[in-house]
Amino acid sequence: MKELLIAIASGLVEHPEAVSVVEDAPNEENTIVFHLHVAEEDMGRVIGRQGRIAKAIRTVMRAAANRNNQKISVEID
């Protein structure tokens, strides 16, 4: 899952070497939280207008997690 998020984000940004993902341990609801970090100037590319790209990234990640019977959440830091 972490590799998928890195691949998606790297394709969107100008500085793919600055993309990093931190994975938290599952919380009490069994949800894994992924924290996506990108370069400051690439923030707008990852979030998109009115958050549309961020919402699409979260949707794709949730769909992939459903296939593995997991619950995930993506936060863009």
Interval 37-52: pLDDT, tens: 999 999 999 999 999 9
Model confidence, pTM? 0.89
Please give the domain boundaries of the chain with CATH numbers for all domains: 2-76 (3.30.300.20)
For residue 12, what are the CA distances in angstroms to 28, 36, 40? 32, 13, 13
Per-residue 3-state assignment (H helix, E strand, C coil) for the chain = CHHHHHHHHHHHCCCHHHCEEEECCCCCCCEEEEEEECCHHHHHHHHCHHHHHHHHHHHHHHHHHHHCCCEEEEEEC
Q: What is the pLDDT of residues 17-29, one digit of tens each?
A: 999 999 999 989 9
